[in-house]
Every structure is written in structure tokens, then in C-alpha cells.
Structure 1
Amino acid sequence: MRRDSERSAPGQQETRAAAAPSAAAEPLAGRYRRVRQATLALAAPLGAEDLMVQSMPDASPGKWHLAHTTWFFEQFVLMRDAAYRPRDPAWLVLFNSYYQTVGPMHARPRRGLLSRPSLEEVLDYRRRVDDAMDALLAHAGDPALAGLVELGLQHEQQHQELLLTDIKHALWCNPLQPAYAARAAAAGAPPAATPMRFVAGREGVAEIGHAGAGFAFDNETPRHRQLLRPHAIASRPVTNAEYRAFVDDGGYRDPALWLSDGWAVVQAEQWRHPLYWQDDLAGEFTLAGVRELDPQAPVCHLSYFEADAFARWAGARLPTEAEWEASAAALPVQGNLLESGVLHPRAAAGATGLQQFYGDIWEWTASPYVSYPGFRPLPGALGEYNGKFMNGQWVLRGGSCATPRTHIRASYRNFFPPQARWQFAGLRLAQDR
């Protein structure tokens, strides 16, 4: 997700791409409460000090995530009623992310300086807005309103993942490298990875993009035809052991493997291995603290530059997002996602065929983040959600171990700049045929 440390992606009148709630069998009021409570549950292991830390400009404090997701409902849903009065007009500035058309915003790199409002005040803000939303949803029958609320819930699910990735970076920066939750990354003995093999991908004209009922962000539309050339895609993602071989072979010292901008970053930042790996290459920092590196688990916390360099070293390439989607579309959305509670990638096991397309790691693709043919952003301020970021970023697919299950689908397009490493991002290989 990108959504501004915020992350990724939107839709019918005000939410055109959100033609229907994504969990149609669940009443919207119940889904609203469930998603909002899930955010509080993710923040529960953290103290006020943890929730104020901003370890880098690309990350945001947990307290800001709690407030910004609440601001979204206040700004775009509740304030449609002219009689509604915001909790504090100054907070409309503090917790705006990048919506220039609704007013000014506090500078993103300085969010960690917001010691006030306090955590208690932010939690009270959430309660007040939730109470107002409960009253609104109790009598809601407007499809446009339902689409707006669903967009807000999908937005909040993006921030649930960001809350975890951002606090992981902050805790890693702490010399004590404390755990977020000791149970994370410790859900039983890891299985052995299955051998990687290449599976022939679909050829010819394929339809790509969101289709049918259910929620989708605007950047997943319109559905369109795309020509797929002969290719094969790896049965599973690249593992830590496979990536370790790249490191041991001098991959970070060979400029011939790297894009020019990537090599410049490697030199400037002195990268020698994936983010969170220990220098001895035997351990890594996880949300459960430092743990032994599982050689068979998918490698993660890679930049696009690292994924691309590894693929070149391996004599392969990254799949395009159309190739990835054509392979994933027939697979069920299941895997090591947020609800598993593991909060770390795990090895694929016990199955043949294509594996781990959903969960574990976001997978870098070879596709720049640009609009689909015929794309139209949402009308009004919500048009800023995705379209204006279609520059200088690359597409990731599939979700991670921190992505909620109801938030991911085959057509979902995540996007980040090529040097970003703090997300649960790895790679799957592809080959031309």
C-alpha cells in the first residue's frame, strides 16, 4: 500500500469504483465496527511512547494512523452534513494526509512531533466519530453513502498494515530491538519449502483489471485487454536461502546486476543485505524481535532495485503485473495474511502448482505504476487518492502477512517507489519462453 505512509489505492458517484461493499453478506454497520476495532487491537500491544515514534519520513506514528483513519470518516462522510461540527477544526489540518483540495496539512516528516493531542484525546476522537457513524449507518440506505463508507474501511485496512510496518521500523531502530508481540512469527515449526519450478503462463489476449461485483479502487479500472507473450512464472516466491546465495556471490558488489539508480542507492546507503537481516546473515528482526533466519521462508523487505538485481543474477526477470494477475485470478484468496497472526512470511509447503500468490509478501512486478487505458480518477477530492501518484513508482501484487484478507484480490495494485524497503516486499521470478 502506499497511501502516504499512507499507501495504496479507490470508487459510484463520489466513490465510483466502489460499486458495492466488499463484504456484501455483512451489514455495513457491523463491518464498520469490526474494521475499526481491528485497528485498536493492532495498537493494543503498544504504549503511548511507541505510538508517537516516527522513525523516518516515509513512516508515520501509530497515533497518527489512529487519528488519520478517523479524520477520513469525519472529513468525507460526516461533514457531508452541513450541521455536523468537527471535534476540533485544527485537527482537520493535523490529520489530513495529502488531500490538497480539502485544505492545508501538517508536514508529513514532522508527524512525530505531535505530542498533542494526547493518545487519550485521539482515542476519544475515534469514539466520538464512531458514535456519529453508528447513528448515521443505523438509517443508511443510500448506495453512494455505502460506497463512501466502504472506501473509508478499505483505507483503514491499508493503515492497519502500515501501522505494523511502521512500528516494525521504529522498534528496529531502537538499540534494544524490542518485540511488538512475542507470539508473532512463532506459530509452530516452519515447514520446508517446496522446490521452485516454472509454470507456463497464459498466452494471448487476457482481460486485466477489476470485474464484477464488490469493491475495487479506481486504479484497478477499467478492465481492459492486454497481450501476454509466451512466458513462465515461478511456482513460489524466492526464499531467504536463494537470496542468501545472491549475497554470498557478491550481488551487492557487482554493478553489472543493478539499474543505474539502484546501484547509486546501494553505494549511498551501503546496502549489503535485505533490511532487517543481521550482518551475520543468520538472523533477522521481526515483529517478535530478533529471530533465526528461516532459509525456506520468502525473502522480504527488499526494494524494487534489489528484486530486479536478483532476477537478473538468477537469469530470469520479474513478472509484469498482467502476467501476475492472469496467473492469480483463478486462485482462491487464502494464505498467510493478517488474520493468521504470524505477522511474518512462512515457507510454502505441501502443495503443488502455483503457491503463495496471496499473503506472506507483496511481490514486486516489472510494471511501472501508470493508469490503465481509459482510467478516470474519482470525482472531487477523492480523485487524489491514487491518480496523482502515477509517477516514478512500481506495482506490487498479492498482499502480505500484514494484509487483511478482505482487503486483497487478484486485481489489487499496490505501489511504492523503487528504493522502498520497509514493507513486506519480496519477489517471484518469471521467464520468457
Structure 2
Amino acid sequence: MNTLLKRYRAVRQRSAALAAPLSEEDCCVQSMPDASPVKWHLAHTTWFFETFLLERHERDFQPFHPAFRILFNSYYNGVGDKHPRPQRGLVTRPALHQVLAYREQVDRRMERLLEEAGQQPEMLSLVETGLQHEQQHQELMLTDLKHLLSMNPLLPAYVEASPPAAPPLASAAWQEFAASVVEIGHSGPGFCFDNEQPRHRQFVESFALASRLVSNAEFLAFVQDGGYADAALWLSEGWDWINANALQHPFYWRCEDGKWAEFTLHGLQALDPHRPAVHLSYFEADAYARWAGARLPSEAEWEHAARTTHDFGRPALHPAGAGDAAPGMMAQMYGAAWQWTLSSYAPYPGYRPAPGALGEYNGKFMSNQYVLRGSSCATPEGHARISYRNFFPSTARWQFTGIRLARSL
């Protein structure tokens, strides 16, 4: 069996495994316009292979169902019409079992295509893009599901077992970096998205980066110090946003009888002071950094510092604590929470989007978004890399997003 076929099977099976503990009702509901039902994720990732691989390369191609081309298109205008994103939760039909049958049929056809394809670089590259795309949706399946379950007054758990206790947290150290010309962006073999290229030089002034992420205990101190009530700490748009939405603490936190708890995929858990604070917007991250006498890093600073570690972490349902990191090492660069940077999401010098409909994958979103770096506990194994550029608008909170502080020297 060729390596890509084995990888195809493993990625596709993991998506099905993530959905396996859920009821059909769990898989159908959409909790907000920014999230999608699990059933839609399962269908859309299959639509990608049917539309971009089978339709182009399969002899005597016939779609599984003609209506799926519109129903499960996400944002590819070059492919044709789309079902409105906020209405994905209204699609009660096809049922979950029909979506699973869709996946099984497309998988059989894709496996036959891969066995017959040989070494066709363009097609194999497109298959890898589809697998990376599905891994992105695996992370979204977990974060969208977490938001959905949090809307239920029963606060049900995705997995009943509690997460293991986090080890005691060491004080954060400041790792210093001299001013220099650095190179950022993808280079060498291996997959990357088009927004990670071209590799280019940037000058960074001397700076220091915190050796770990901001913890729940540290962010709780900001909350208890009146951080959400101090206009001086907030960007103007952020101040208007938290007041319009009456925000006083992170998204999944709650306080009852003076005791703080956090909703997780394991259900409601006591707030663990040793774990990183997550589900924070850019506005919250920026305000905390000001309160702490620091700032957020630029993406060039983050990538330069990240070259000191290659521990990409392992997937989990809740971010682990940093423990006692070795001196001079950067902890939690990967595998805990995506880390906000102060860099607006924009093209690198010389950037060229991919040709055709796939050129819509990243480039057209380069407006009103901020770059996040690293990976989260929900990022699938093998999906993280040093040059990865995630991006979200400044108010996004439903992803596993956290804070790493920086200082200018």
C-alpha cells in the first residue's frame, strides 16, 4: 500500500472517529453562524475530494448526489453556488447515515484513484491539500462541538472522563533575542499552504518572549483586578465590543459562590490554575498584555523564537499545563493553544495565491484578521509546523486561543 493511501485512510478514519460518540441530533445542530454542524464537516471534507479530485480525474465521473455540489460547498465561488453558511443547521436532510454513506462511497472511489494514479505530482499534491484541509476541519469539529454543548443547560460532556491533573506551574521566564535579520515562511520539503510562502527576510529589534503561555491563575488575577472594567487597557473597538456584550471574563468561565469553573469537552470542571487561559479574543489578549506591562509578539518574533523547539505536542481535548520547562526552552509553542500575534493577516512579499478555485483558500481572507501561531490541543497530530499561519477576526473566542507575552528590549 502506498504511503499516501495509508495517510488518506488514517485521516478519513479519524474524522469518523471524532463523530462516533455523538448522536444524530448532536451532529445536526448549528450553535452560531461561525460554527458548523459535525454532519456538515463530514460532508464538506468529502465534497472536497469529490469536487477537486474525482470530478477532474475519475473516468466516467458521476456525483454521489447532484445537489451536494451546492449544499456542501463552503466558500469556493469558482466552483459555483453555495448554501448560506448561517443556515447549515437547517439541513436536516440528508441524514447522518446518508452523509456517512457519501463518505464511504467517495473513499472507495478515491482509493481506487490513488491506486491507479501512480506518481502524478499535480494530483498527489491536491490529495495532500485535501488531507490537510480535512485536518483543519477535525479541529473545527471539536471546537464547534464544544460551543454547541456549552449552549445546552445540562452542560453535557463529549467525553465523561476528567482530564489528568496539570502539574504545578513554574514561573514564566523571559527568553531574550538579539536584534537581527530573520527569515520566516516555509522552506524545504513538506506541505505548506500558499499563505506560508514565499520565505523572506524581516528585521526584528531585540525582544523577549515569555517561556510559556499565560495561565488561568494569571488571567484570573486580571479579571479580579477589574481588567474588564478598565477602559485604559482596551483598544477602542474592543472596549465597545465587551460593553455591548456585557463581557466580564473568558468565554467558557463561570463563577458560582465564589468558585470559578470552566466548561470543557470533559464537561464543567473546576478552573485549573496551572492550565493555560484559552478561548480568548484578540481584544482580551491585547488588554491582558497591557495590564501585564507587556505586549503580544509579532509573527516574525514568534517564528524566530519557535526555532528553538520542535516539540509539536499531541492532540488532547483540553490544553495541558506547562509544568517546569527546562531552562532556556520555550514551552507550549505547540499543542496547547493558538497564540495571538499583533500581526495583521496580510500577504508575504511576493505572495501568489494558488491558481483556480483553490486560490480562494487563504488569500481572499487577508482583511480584518490577525495571525495566530503554533497549534492547539485540538490540532491533529502531524498538522502543526513552524510556518503555519492561522487567522481569525479580533472577536473570535470559540477556538483554543491563548496568550504568549512579549517585550521590547
**Matched position secondary structure for 2:169:** coil
- Name the aligned partner's letter for residue 318 of structure 2: H
Residue from 278, 282, 288 that aligns with 2:266: 288
Specify the alignment match of 2:20 in structure 1: 44
Specify the alignment match of 1:246 in structure 2: 222
Query: Are the counterparts in 2 of residues 398 and 409 from structure 1 also a CA contact under 8 Å?
Result: yes
- Name the aligned partner's letter for residue 317 of structure 2: L
Query: Are the counterparts in 1 of residues 28 and 37 from structure 2 also a CA contact under 8 Å?
Result: yes
Residue from 56, 73, 90 that aligns with 1:96: 73
Specify the alignment match of 1:15 in structure 2: none
| TM-score, length-scaled by structure 1 | 0.91
- Name the aligned partner's letter for residue 233 of structure 1: L
CA displacement at 1:363 relative to structure 2? 0.5
The answer on 1:349 being equivalent to 2:323 is yes
Specify the alignment match of 1:17 in structure 2: none
| TM-score, length-scaled by structure 2 | 0.97
- Tell me the distance in 1 between the aligned counterparts of 2:312 and 2:366: 29
CA displacement at 1:333 relative to structure 2? 3.2
- Tell me the distance in 1 between the aligned counterparts of 2:342 and 2:2: 37
Give CA deviations for 1:363-404 in whole Å, capped at 9, x if unaligned.
001101000000000000000000000000000111000001
Aligned residues, how many?
Answer: 403
CA displacement at 1:26 relative to structure 2? 7.2
Query: Are the counterparts in 2 of residues 282 and 293 from structure 1 also a CA contact under 8 Å?
Result: yes
The change in CA–CA distance for 1:26 and 1:256 in structure 2 (over 3 A counts) is: farther
Identity of aligned residues (%): 58
**Matched position secondary structure for 1:405:** coil
CA displacement at 1:282 relative to structure 2? 1.3
- Tell me the distance in 2 between the aligned counterparts of 1:249 and 1:31: 49
The answer on 1:131 being equivalent to 2:108 is yes
Residue from 379, 390, 394 that aligns with 2:370: 394
Specify the alignment match of 1:383 in structure 2: 359
Matches within 5 A, 1:5-404: 27-81=3-57, 83-140=60-117, 141-183=119-161, 185-187=162-164, 189-280=165-256, 282-335=260-313, 337-338=314-315, 342-352=316-326, 353-404=329-380
- Name the aligned partner's letter for residue 244 of structure 1: L
Give CA deviations for 1:403-425 in whole Å, capped at 9, x if unaligned.
01211101000000000000000
Q: Which moved more, 1:74-83 or 1:267-276?
A: 74-83
The answer on 1:418 being equivalent to 2:394 is yes
- Tell me the distance in 2 between the aligned counterparts of 1:165 and 1:327: 27
**Matched position secondary structure for 1:406:** coil
Q: Which moved more, 1:285-294 or 1:190-199?
A: 190-199
Query: Are the counterparts in 1 of residues 214 and 277 from structure 2 also a CA contact under 8 Å?
Result: yes
CA displacement at 1:289 relative to structure 2? 0.3
**Matched position secondary structure for 1:139:** helix
- Tell me the distance in 2 between the aligned counterparts of 1:42 and 1:232: 39
CA displacement at 1:182 relative to structure 2? 1.4
- Name the aligned partner's letter for residue 410 of structure 1: I
CA displacement at 1:349 relative to structure 2? 1.4
Query: Are the counterparts in 1 of residues 370 and 394 from structure 2 also a CA contact under 8 Å?
Result: yes
CA displacement at 1:202 relative to structure 2? 4.5
- Tell me the distance in 1 between the aligned counterparts of 2:349 and 2:363: 13
- Tell me the distance in 2 between the aligned counterparts of 1:26 and 1:56: 40
- Tell me the distance in 1 between the aligned counterparts of 2:393 and 2:255: 25
Give CA deviations for 1:7-32 in whole Å, capped at 9, x if unaligned.
xxxxxxxxxxxxxxxxxx97000000
Specify the alignment match of 1:14 in structure 2: none
Moved over 3 A (4+): none
Query: Are the counterparts in 2 of residues 231 and 432 from structure 1 also a CA contact under 8 Å?
Result: yes
- Name the aligned partner's letter for residue 285 of structure 2: A
- Tell me the distance in 2 between the aligned counterparts of 1:320 and 1:177: 37
- Tell me the distance in 2 between the aligned counterparts of 1:278 and 1:200: 36
- Tell me the distance in 2 between the aligned counterparts of 1:325 and 1:173: 36
CA displacement at 1:40 relative to structure 2? 0.6
- Tell me the distance in 2 between the aligned counterparts of 1:334 and 1:367: 22
Query: Are the counterparts in 1 of residues 166 and 323 from structure 2 also a CA contact under 8 Å?
Result: no
Query: Are the counterparts in 2 of residues 221 and 375 from structure 1 also a CA contact under 8 Å?
Result: yes
Query: Are the counterparts in 2 of residues 360 and 399 from structure 1 also a CA contact under 8 Å?
Result: yes
- Tell me the distance in 2 between the aligned counterparts of 1:42 and 1:179: 14
Query: Are the counterparts in 2 of residues 333 and 408 from structure 1 also a CA contact under 8 Å?
Result: no
The change in CA–CA distance for 1:243 and 1:137 in structure 2 (over 3 A counts) is: same
Query: Are the counterparts in 1 of residues 312 and 385 from structure 2 also a CA contact under 8 Å?
Result: no
- Tell me the distance in 1 between the aligned counterparts of 2:178 and 2:5: 41
CA displacement at 1:305 relative to structure 2? 0.3
Gaps of 5+ in 1: 1-24
Give the CA RMSD over aligned residues: 1.2
- Tell me the distance in 1 between the aligned counterparts of 2:142 and 2:266: 12
Query: Are the counterparts in 2 of residues 284 and 290 from structure 1 also a CA contact under 8 Å?
Result: yes
Query: Are the counterparts in 2 of residues 177 and 290 from structure 1 also a CA contact under 8 Å?
Result: yes
Structure showing greater relative contact order (alpha-carbon pairs closer than 8 Å, 6 or more residues apart): 1
- Tell me the distance in 2 between the aligned counterparts of 1:194 and 1:99: 46
Specify the alignment match of 1:9 in structure 2: none
